Amino acid sequence: MTQSALSIYALNLLIKERLLFSPELNNIWISGEITSFKTYPYGGQSYLTLSDKQAQINCVVYDNTLQNIKFKPAAGQIIFALGKVILFPKKGSLIFQIHFMSTQGTGQLSQEFERLKEQLQKEGCFDEDRKKPIPKYPNHIGLITANNSAAMWDFVTIFSRLAPQVPITVIPAVMQGASSVLTLLHALTLAANHPTIDTVIVLRGGGAKEDLTVFNSEELVRAIAQFPKPILTAIGHEIDTSLSDLASDLRCPTPTAAAHYLGQSFYHITHKIIVFLTQTGPRLKNELDDYQETVLNSIKFGQKLLTHKTVLFAQKQSQLLTRLKQANPLHKLQQGYSIIRLKKSNKIIKSISQLQSQDILEIELSDGKCEAIVK
């Protein structure tokens, strides 16, 4: 059994050979919309994806073929392409090699995009005056994106660096394919009902244009337009603008740009505070030193002033006490003076005219009294 098994390479070679000799898959016309177109200047070839509503196929067209056609291929065009199906045995990938192509005008997907855009625009879904302002300092970010995706990490890494104190809650959603609209709508409902999330961002990294078509879904665009909290979108690359981008309150070109936009205010205020503290610290230190010097001098001056005043008061007090001692009315008696009173009236005799013969006088000396009669 194992001896008859083919290697993968042998199998792929076999398929390639069958394809090569299969008339149904050689020189056939196919028709579809160009949903992506990339030219590699040094490779001499361009790669494009042709799609219709059910499927898509990768195609290659060489420069010599492009030189022979009368239009410049671009995404959104419906084309007819003549070519063959080939298989690259090493990778096992199938590709349609185009020998000739012609245009048939704007594709159905593009037409549908324009029709929906016009309708939603008329309804006011993209009006600037209904867009909510994005908080300068969000309290809690709700991040709707594919869990663990590169876009998620780009955002989380940069935002956490700028505003490490702001929590981010990732609300996972499928960001491409058939189930994506439902999961995105569910994620939006969770974010809207979350008690602390105050800013929501729908994030998806770059990808093929057809992978981003989910963000043109009418249901999703309406949900974003009617979302009750400030909502940002950062979907695909800078050149991709979806209807969800137009409906959101702010469109950021990339996840990185969204992280910078939401985190910049925190970064700037933190930076300002650091600069302020750095400059103010030494200034305050100088001011404090000056104050300390003033306080020191005031205390010293106060001490001197009080000492001086005390000395003055003491001197004054001593002077007054000396004067008081001298002003003692009895002091004069000790010096030999005496006080003479008329005994009958007890009046002090200051003049001879107050006296009559035989008047009895009372003489007060420093250590006692005696009486005398006037003659």
- Contacts with other proteins, residue ranges (CB under 8 A): 292, 295-296, 299-300, 302-303, 306-307, 310, 313-314, 316-317, 320-321, 323-324, 327-329, 339, 348
Least Å distance, CB 313 to other proteins, is: 6
**Residue 200 phi/psi, 5° resolution?**
-120, 140
Least Å distance, CB 283 to other proteins, is: 21
Least Å distance, CB 296 to other proteins, is: 5
Q: Which residues of 36-72 are buried (b: 16+ CB within 10 A; e: fewer)?
A: bbeeeeeeebbebbbbbeeeebebbbeeebbeebeee
**Residue 83 phi/psi, 5° resolution?**
180, -160
CB nearer to other proteins: pick between 189 and 366: 366
Least Å distance, CB 308 to other proteins, is: 11
Sequence letter at residue 6 = L
Sign of the torsion angle spanned by Cα atoms 174, 180, 181, 183: negative
Please enumerate, as own/partner, the contacts of 24-29 that have beta carbons within 8 Å and a separation of 24 or more.
25/84, 25/85, 26/84, 26/85, 27/82, 27/83, 27/84, 27/99, 28/82, 28/83, 28/84, 28/85, 29/80, 29/81, 29/82
**Residue 129 phi/psi, 5° resolution?**
-75, -10
Least Å distance, CB 335 to other proteins, is: 14
CA distances to 154, 164, 196, 264 from 267, rounded to whole Å, are 17, 10, 22, 5
CB nearer to other proteins: pick between 280 and 317: 317
CB nearer to other proteins: pick between 22 and 292: 292
Least Å distance, CB 330 to other proteins, is: 8
CB nearer to other proteins: pick between 11 and 305: 305
CB nearer to other proteins: pick between 9 and 313: 313
Kind plus residue range of the DSSP H or E element containing 362 = strand 360-365
Q: Furthest-apart CA pair in the chain: how many Å?
A: 184
CB nearer to other proteins: pick between 68 and 310: 310
| Sequential DSSP letters for 28-88 | EEEEEEEEEEEEETTTTEEEEEEE-SS-EEEEEEEHHHHHTSSS---TTEEEEEEEEEEEE
Which two three-digit tokens encode residue 182? 């439902």
CB nearer to other proteins: pick between 271 and 331: 331
Least Å distance, CB 305 to other proteins, is: 11
Least Å distance, CB 317 to other proteins, is: 6
CB nearer to other proteins: pick between 273 and 305: 305
Least Å distance, CB 300 to other proteins, is: 7
CB nearer to other proteins: pick between 55 and 327: 327
d(CA 95, CA 84): 8
Contact 101, 79 (CB under 8 A): yes
DSSP code at position 99: E
Least Å distance, CB 340 to other proteins, is: 11
CB nearer to other proteins: pick between 161 and 347: 347
d(CA 63, CA 43): 9
Q: How many CB atoms lie within 10 A of CB 6?
A: 10
